Structure 1
Amino acid sequence: MLILSSNILYALTSFLPLTAGIGTPELTDTSTSKSNVNSHCPPRTTTTIEEQRAAFANFTNLIYTPGGNVTEAYLTYVAEDYIQHNPNTLSGRQNSIDAVQAVINAGATFEIINTAFEDDWGYAFLRVNFAGAAQPTAVVDILRMNGSCIVEHWDVMQERPANATNPIAMWS
């Protein structure tokens, strides 16, 4: 999920308040009736919205928290044929792993402002500080889940204007 905005690269994905103590829920693979706690993809039916929220929160934590693991997040929670609607990144899980990791390796930092999850849809509102950028960027990542697995992504971005008229604009 690589976005080019004002010549700044950005990677995306994620979403729900990061809650300490949320573990990876055990889900049932409906094709084999075996439980699996290591991978949520391909999608399996979840029994509660809480299981989806927990998977979403764990994914978000792995992506946006310092010391997280982008590859683990995607291999655990994202479908291999992940649909990407960002015009600067191709669909597919590996394309997103590469894009997000490149942005992190370049020194970008993320601050989660707000998240929510309901009815298979989650979003994360982020403040992203790209290495070398004069101003931070507001990002909203929107993800759709199918059961236990993240299958689709959209995003919107806006760089903070250097001379914003509104003193409470964007994050206040």
Structure 2
Amino acid sequence: MNIENKKALSTEETKILFSILKDRFEKNRNRHNDVEWPKVLAKLEMANEKLWSLNEMEKTGGEPDVIGYDKKTGEYIFYDCSAESPKGRRSACYDRQALESRKEHKPATSVMDMAATMGIEILNEVEYRDLQQYGNFDTKTSSWLKTPPEIRKLGGAIFGDWRYNHVFIYHNGADSYYAARGFRGSLRV
């Protein structure tokens, strides 16, 4: 099997994913009031590799859903909308540099490597705050966020959560990792 085939879903996997996405779309209309499912489905049907990425988001517990439409690019924007940071993406440090700097007790991977493998982007602070308008996410967990280069250069990385009816953005050493911290991704289709 060549690499390109590994990033394609079977017909059955595609049907299952479409069913999950449509059901979530219908149950969460507040996330996309002006978006119609048939138009989203038409875009998805033409985007095999993006389907694979959405399926990876789903398999790792992200519960991806449409949160908007970019009129300039004609793309639908999906965010991970699971109540807590996706279970299948926790216990990872921020990036490859942080992973390699750990002398002992290294996690299996980094969130930046995982996101790249999945073909998605990590939410930044603005996107994370945007997500929070659709519900209270990360009330018991936290999520790594795309870190500005000036912070990363000094060894840090940022993460966010929702506590006391407020979004909090914090910092940590990029090489740290916790069982209750993962990351949320976005994908444009």
Task: Place the TM-score, normalised by the shorter chain, in its bin.
Answer: under 0.3
* TM-score normalised by length of structure 2: 0.25
Larger % of helix: which? 2
